[in-house]
């Protein structure tokens, strides 16, 4: 089938002028130019209409229509959530809605459930009041009570799991890919029924940080499903507890009723690469570029049977410079069940 190609203004003008060859030039030229402008606009509108006929090419406003048709809403930004440890007088109440402020990011957080302080540091469930990654904080950082609570220390320390799960709105390209994925499944299979690809889709639909997921069938017995989300944008590609909880909540509503599923983090398989750059090529810029290229090669491996080949490692380094020697690894790196490849800091000779 011949692809529609929009004619240029010059082509339209030449065609029309040829059609008006019998007319005097004093009329033929301005008429052909005027007619060509009108036709060029009409062809432009036809070009736009053609793009809107598929979620692959439509503009953002039409993508919302396609997404509504196939029930694939865009994932909104999420709130960071976690636990902080409160200390103070025993039985002092810390009520739901009490607000705290992050010392490092200046964002406000709210207590989700009321607690009473105990003799030991008391876990307090909090959520950031602002969506996005800025609300994520690591273990050991401090939140401060905005309004002091008598009997409770003014500073609360984030527990070992951190405050996590905050993410921005889903990228349009990622959303478009999910819409097209669902469109293809509906057209070819009719519905999602619990195949491995379905669990990967459901995981991606649960939280904007999820890139894909490993799906292991029957590992814990006949009919069991283990879903291991991969988050390429997070540290070590591993999901946080907030992301695991979001996926579990999603699967509870869409997975087959008879499925025995579990959502857990992947196992890390460290990729250790040693590189010896020649003195003339051993620059900070080259080291940074090679690290980025090798990391991109590792992040591209997302399947249950992923293998990072030596040829891929060498090809990544060669995009920066050929003046190097790979010291290790000496063999392809294949994942075991449930593992995801994670790049360790490159070791430079």
β-bridge pairing 224-230 and 260-263: parallel
166, 134 Cβ separation under 8 angstroms: yes
Is the peptide bond preceding residue 327 cis, with omega within 30 degrees of 0?
A: no
Fold of 79-164: Elongation Factor Tu (Ef-tu); domain 3 (2.40.30)
Yes or no: say if 89 and 145 are a contact pair by the CB < 8 Å rule: no
For the entire predicted model, the pTM comes to 0.79
- Rounded Cα–Cα distance for residues 271 and 68 (Å): 41
d(CA 157, CA 301): 37
Cβ distance 127 to 203 under 8 Å? no
For residue 17 the two structure tokens come to 């002028």
Q: Which string of DSSP letters, residue by residue, matches 44-112?
A: HHHHHHHHHTSTTT--HHHHHHHHHHTT-PPPPPBEEEEEEEE-BSTT-EE-TT-EEEETTT--EEEES
Instruction: List the structure tokens of 113.
Output: 């459930």
Q: Measured between alpha carbons, how far is 116 from 93 in angstroms, rounded to an integer?
A: 4
Lowest mean pLDDT among 19-23, 72-76, 85-89, 166-170: 19-23
Per CATH, the number for 192-265 is 3.30.300
Helix-then-strand count for the chain, H and E: 8, 18
Quick: pLDDT tens for 82-107: 999 999 999 999 999 999 999 999 99
Among residues 305, 71, 304, the alpha carbon closest in space to that of 192 is found at: 71
pLDDT digits (tens, 9 = 90+) for 253-304: 999 999 999 999 999 999 999 999 999 999 999 999 999 999 999 999 999 9
Q: Where are the domains of the chain?
A: 9-53, 79-164, 192-265, 268-348
The pLDDT, as a whole number, for residue 133 is 94
Q: List strand residue ranges (DSSP E) for 264-331, in order.
A: 267-271, 274-277, 307-308, 324-328
Angle at 192 between CA 194 and CA 176, to 5 degrees: 120
At 205-250, the pLDDT tens digits run 999 999 999 999 999 999 999 999 999 999 899 999 999 999 999 9
Q: Quick count: other Cβ atoms within 10 Å of Cβ 248? A: 16
């Amino acid at each position: 089938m011949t692809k529609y190609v929009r004619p240029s203004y010059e082509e339209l003008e030449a065609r029309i002028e040829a059609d008006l060859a019998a007319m005097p030039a004093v009329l033929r030229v301005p008429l052909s130019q005027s007619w060509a402008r009108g036709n060029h606009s009409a062809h432009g509108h036809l070009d736009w209409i053609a793009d809107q006929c598929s979620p692959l090419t439509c503009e953002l406003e039409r993508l919302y229509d396609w997404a509504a048709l196939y029930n694939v809403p865009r994932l909104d930004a999420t709130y960071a959530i976690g636990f902080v440890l409160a200390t103070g007088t025993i039985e002092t109440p810390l009520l739901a809605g009490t607000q705290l402020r992050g010392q490092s990011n200046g964002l406000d957080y709210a207590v989700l459930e009321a607690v009473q302080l105990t003799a030991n540091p008391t876990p307090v469930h909090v959520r950031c009041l602002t969506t996005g990654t800025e609300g994520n904080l690591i273990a050991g950082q401090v939140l401060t009570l905005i309004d002091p609570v008598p009997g409770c220390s003014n500073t609360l320390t984030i527990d070992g799991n951190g405050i996590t799960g905050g993410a921005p709105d889903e990228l349009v390209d990622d959303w478009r890919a999910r819409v097209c994925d669902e469109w293809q499944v509906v057209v070819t299979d009719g519905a999602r029924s619990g195949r491995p690809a379905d669990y990967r889709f459901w995981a991606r639909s649960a939280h904007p940080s999820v890139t894909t997921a490993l799906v292991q069938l029957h590992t814990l017995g006949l009919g069991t499903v283990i879903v291991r989300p991969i988050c390429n944008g997070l540290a070590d590609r591993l999901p946080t507890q907030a992301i695991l909880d979001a996926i579990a909540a999603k699967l509870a509503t869409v997975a087959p009723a008879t499925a025995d599923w579990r959502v857990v983090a992947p196992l890390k398989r460290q990729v250790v690469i040693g590189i010896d750059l020649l003195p003339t090529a051993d620059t900070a810029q080259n080291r940074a570029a090679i690290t980025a290229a090798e990391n991109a090669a590792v992040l591209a491996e997302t399947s249950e049977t992923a293998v990072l080949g030596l040829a891929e490692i060498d090809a990544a380094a060669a995009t920066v410079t050929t003046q190097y020697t790979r010291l290790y690894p000496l063999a392809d790196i294949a994942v075991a069940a449930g593992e995801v490849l994670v790049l360790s800091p490159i070791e430079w000779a």
